[in-house]
Amino acid sequence: MFDDEIRHKVSSLLKACRAKGLHISTAESCTGGLIAAALTEISGSSDVFERGFVTYQDDAKAENLGVSRQTLTAHGAVSEPVAREMAAGTLDRSTSQVSVAVTGIAGPGGGSPQKPVGLVHIASASNEGASHHRRCEFGEIGREGIRDATIREALDMLTEIVAAYPSG
């Protein structure tokens, strides 16, 4: 289902998590669960991957992840504050030590001059207090291309936060 590059990224990430005894959870909007699917593509990943949330609508983000309705109203679902709250909410609602969250506009419709198709916000967090964010502007490379690029960036962010996580 996923290409060799993604499978390699996942295998390396799972190995790093095992070495530190870490578990991962995900929160996904525009990727619809594809990051979780990539993580579970590798046999034996259940010792690292704990759970995934697919929260496509604003109500789901609020109800399942605790994203503030005030934040959603003030900034919109595709924003840095929402991505960060999604990542934090994922940690609050799981036993994982690290998380990643994505929210964006995969298109082909739904974009605006302020938030064009291809805009994705990715946030990662750890229970050690680390929190990172990337604003990605992939452009109109097609829905599949945007989702694929988002998976790759999210895996890179997870790898970085795991590498920075203190050893046990």
SS in 3 state form for the chain?
Answer: CCCHHHHHHHHHHHHHHHHHCCCEEEEECCCCCHHHHHHHCCCCHHHCEEEEEECCCHHHHHHHHCCCHHHHHHHCCCCHHHHHHHHHHHHHCCCCCEEEEEEECCCCCCCCCCCCCCEEEEEEEECCCCEEEEEEECCCCCHHHHHHHHHHHHHHHHHHHHHHCCCC
Q: Give which of 165, 18, 7, 25 is closest to 102, Cα–Cα.
A: 25
Q: Give pLDDT, residue 25.
A: 98
Residues 42-90 pLDDT 10s: 999 999 999 999 999 999 999 999 999 999 999 999 999 999 999 999 9
Average pLDDT, the chain: 97
CA nearest neighbour of 43 among 74, 11, 69: 11
The answer to whether residue 6 scores a pLDDT higher than 70 is: yes
User: Where in the chain are the domains?
Assistant: 4-164
User: In this prediction, what percent of the chain has a pLDDT beyond 90?
Assistant: 98
- Cα(28)–Cα(30) distance, rounded to whole angstroms? 6
Res. 11: pLDDT tops 70: yes
pTM for this one? 0.97
> Quick count: other Cβ atoms within 10 Å of Cβ 46?
10
Please report how the helices 143-164 and 4-20 are oriented relative to each other, as an axis angle in degrees rounded to 10: 20
pLDDT number for residue 168: 67
Strand-pair partners of 136: 120
Residue 74: the pLDDT is 98
CATH number (3.30.70.270, 3.90.950.20, 3.40.30.10, 3.50.50.60) of 4-164 reads: 3.90.950.20
- Could you tell me how many residues make up the chain? 168
In this prediction, residue 1 carries a pLDDT of 86
Rounded to whole angstroms, the Cα distance separating 39 from 49 reads 7
pLDDT for 160 beyond 80: yes
User: Does residue 39 have a pLDDT over 70?
Assistant: yes
pLDDT per residue over 89-104, tens digit each?
A: 999 999 999 999 999 9
For residue range 112-146, list pLDDT tens digits in order. Answer: 999 999 999 999 999 999 999 999 999 999 999 99
